[in-house]
Amino acid sequence: MMGLSLFSIAVLLLIGLVLFLYSLPTLRDNNTFHLFFTSSWKPFKGEFGFGAFIYSTLYVTFIAIVMAFPPALLCALYMSEYATSTVKRVFSPVIDLLSGIPPVIYGVWGTLTIVPVISEKLAPHFVDFSTGYSVLAGGVVLAIMILPLIVSILIEVFTAIPKGIREASLSLGATKWQTVKKVILKKSLTGIVATVVLAVSRAFGETIAVLMVCGNFTDIPQSVFDACYPLPALIANNYGEMMSIPGYESALMFAAFLLFIIIVIFNAGSRLVLYRIKKNSQS
Amino acid sequence: MRALSKDIVMNDTLTPFIDAHKTNKTHLTVENLNVHIYGKHILKKVNLSIPEKQITCIIGPSGCGKTTLLRCFNRLHDDNSEVKVTGNIRIGNEDIYGSHVEVTHIRKKMGLLAQRPTVLPMSIYDNVAYGPRLYGIKRRRKVYEIVKHQLMAVGLWEEVKDRLKSPAVRLSIGQQQRLCLARGLAVEPEMILGDEATSSLDPLASTKVEELFVKMKDTYSIVLVTHTLRQAKRIADYVAFMYLGELVEFGRAEEVFNNPKHKLTQQYLDGSFS
């Protein structure tokens, strides 16, 4: 058991190390500031600025979480606290099914429905022109993708709360909603944070669905209706092609390394938050 | 076991126990209560009157429906669509299951003490203040007075007054149970319901809670489900013996313990089954 745990940690470290080693040429040949904060992407000239990609990744993920979390939370609360057993029996498998649908299907669906709606109905109210392939399209598709994931984990989190705590609140004359607001949410705070972390990590790494709807244009998007180009899409679109260009493979490896680092930092940060919450509730 | 159950069914002396005791005013009346859970008949035509400001202990072997009965009193079965309750339960003149009656209003009248202490995920102070705040008491001074008063009532004030803001989970199990009692009292209930409230406590903590019950019966009607016959003998004024979902015997504690009318009660008290 211990061996397996060590093995999984070793694999993680190994992935990080290999990505780092492969990205060394990029790190050596380019100014670090330039790599992180500029968006000039000219592989033929050896210019690799990752600013737009990093920005796009964070932007799309942020929109997805902001859109997905509130409805997912309410949905999970409904399923665990209010729904009758018949409703649960019908909807639980549907939610599981939704989280099992391959991303490419979400991508196709997004291209056929979300993109036209944005370009024809929504964008004209705010900007002069938008193809619909945009940050918003990526965010919406990603939100819909991670929603069932958040819902099913949150349902687990809420059902894990002992029934006695609910009854303690109810038996004091609290309504169900008061119990949810003041007791259930408070008790499950660590679980909720952990769920968001999982969902964000998933959203960071999601490739194909986002790639199909976000336009893949290397520039910092000025609004949510502009096209963007997240890191995973960059790697997926270009890896295996144009390997003849010097430094290109290393640059893509650096993109992968960046994604890896973003996720590691995010997870470490959230661990810290979780630790703080736990400490506060016990001290 | 089957023979015993047959014994109950065949015995026609299982008459309603309403007004079986004239000496004390009735606080809660149960009439023809039937409970089905997942189609299974759990409580069978239970009739009972809980006397006011007395300790009534419900005893009986595991699975006889004691807890189910207790949970009917504050409608804790409401959220489970698989539980069907029929019959009448009245507290004073109010029908607990009446269509116009608000469930929160009924629950406020009954402080429930569960088997294991269930502190809310908040501080000691907030646990006690939870109920009063629900009922709109916002003024700090007032809330503080209620918290202090109830913590004193359960003998916890001296032990926790310097750490009111620390999480309630940090208290010992015995202290937590007394905190739960204080929390229940803070909404000024009429009755206290205890579901094996001392079974998870050590003997010392258990004695403290028992003493509190005895002290509080001047103010509240107390109904305790208990597994421990000795506890019932120590503190009960009235005893209800249940077996396989039926109320077999109900009466004053000394009568039931010293001179049980029913053979089953006798056998249970003798330890022939448990």
- Enumerate domains of chain A plus CATH numbers: 53-227 (1.10.3720.10)
Average pLDDT value for residue range B239-249: 94
The pLDDT of residue A40: 84
Stretch B66-84: mean pLDDT: 90
Region A5-31: what's the mean pLDDT?
91
Residue A190 has pLDDT above 50, yes or no: yes
CB contact under 8 A, A171 and B105: no
Least confident of A170-179, A227-236, B18-27, B171-180: B18-27
Q: Return phi, psi of residue A51, to 5°.
A: -50, -50
Q: In this complex, do B131 and A164 lie within 8 Å of one another by their Cβ atoms?
A: no
Partner B contacted by A170 (CB < 8 A): yes
Q: Strands B26-37, B40-51: parallel, antiparallel or unpaired by DSSP?
A: antiparallel
Helix intervals (H) in chain B = 2-10, 66-73, 103-108, 124-134, 140-153, 157-160, 173-185, 203-216, 229-235, 253-258, 263-270
Are A231 and A169 spatial neighbours (Cβ–Cβ below 8 Å)?
A: no
Phi and psi of B13, rounded to 5°?
A: -80, 5
Convert the pLDDT of each residue in A132-157 to its tens digit.
999 999 999 999 999 999 999 999 99
**Residue B15, pLDDT score:** 44
Q: For the residues A11-25, what does the mean pLDDT come to?
A: 92
- Check residue A282 and give its pLDDT: 62
Q: Which residue has the higher pLDDT, A127 or B12?
A: A127
Angle at A205 between CA A200 and CA A209, to 5 degrees: 105
pLDDT of residue B3: 43
Residue type, position B92, single letter: G
**Partner A, chain B 79-108, Cβ-Cβ below 8 Å:** 79, 81-82, 104-105, 107-108
The more confidently predicted of residues B130 and A276 is: B130
Q: Between the CA of residue A113 and those of A56, A69, A102, A140, A215, what are the distances in Å?
A: 22, 22, 17, 11, 15
- Please check whether residue A222 touches B, CB under 8 A: no
| pLDDT score recorded for residue A273 | 84
Q: Are strands B221-225 and B238-243 parallel, antiparallel or unpaired?
A: unpaired
**Residue A239 region, left (φ>0) first, then alpha (ψ -120 to 50), else beta?**
beta
Interface of A with B in 66-125 (CB under 8 A): 84-85
Residue pair B264/B245 in contact (Cβ under 8 Å)? The answer is no
Q: Which residue has the tokens 């629950």?
A: B107
- Compute the average pLDDT of residues A37-41: 85
Q: How many CB pairs under 8 A join A and B?
A: 72
User: Please, what sign has the CA dihedral across residues A258, A263, A266, A271?
Assistant: negative
Indicate the pLDDT class of residue B23, thresholds 50, 70 and 90: low
Q: What angle do CA B141, B144, B149 make, to 5 degrees?
A: 125
Residue A47: pLDDT over 90: no
The pLDDT of A2-18, averaged and rounded, is 92
pLDDT, average across residues A273-282 = 77
pTM: 0.84
Which residue did the predictor score with more confidence, A143 or B24? Answer: A143
B122 touches A at CB < 8 Å: yes
- Cα dihedral angle (B14, B15, B19, B23), rounded to 10 degrees? -40
Q: Assess: ipTM above 0.85.
A: no
Task: Tell me what percent of the residues of chain B surpass a pLDDT of 70.
Answer: 91
Q: Which helix (H) or strand (E) holds B47?
A: strand B40-51
Please compute the mean of the pLDDT values over residues A9-15 and round it to a whole number. 92
- Name every residue whose Cβ is closer than 8 Å to that of residue B90 and which is 6 or more positions away in sequence: B28, B29, B31, B96
Which of these ranges, A37-51, A52-66, A164-178, has the smallest mean pLDDT?
Answer: A37-51
From residue A92, alpha-carbon distances to A43, A116, A166, A210 in Å are 48, 31, 22, 26
- φ and ψ at residue B90, rounded to 5 degrees: -120, 135
Compute the average pLDDT of residues A93-119. Answer: 93
Helix/strand/coil percentages in chain B, nearest 5: 40, 25, 35
**A246 neighbors A73 (Cβ within 8 angstroms):** no
Judged against a pLDDT cut of 50, whether residue B7 lies above it is answered with: no
| Helix B173-185 × helix B203-216 angle, to 10° | 20
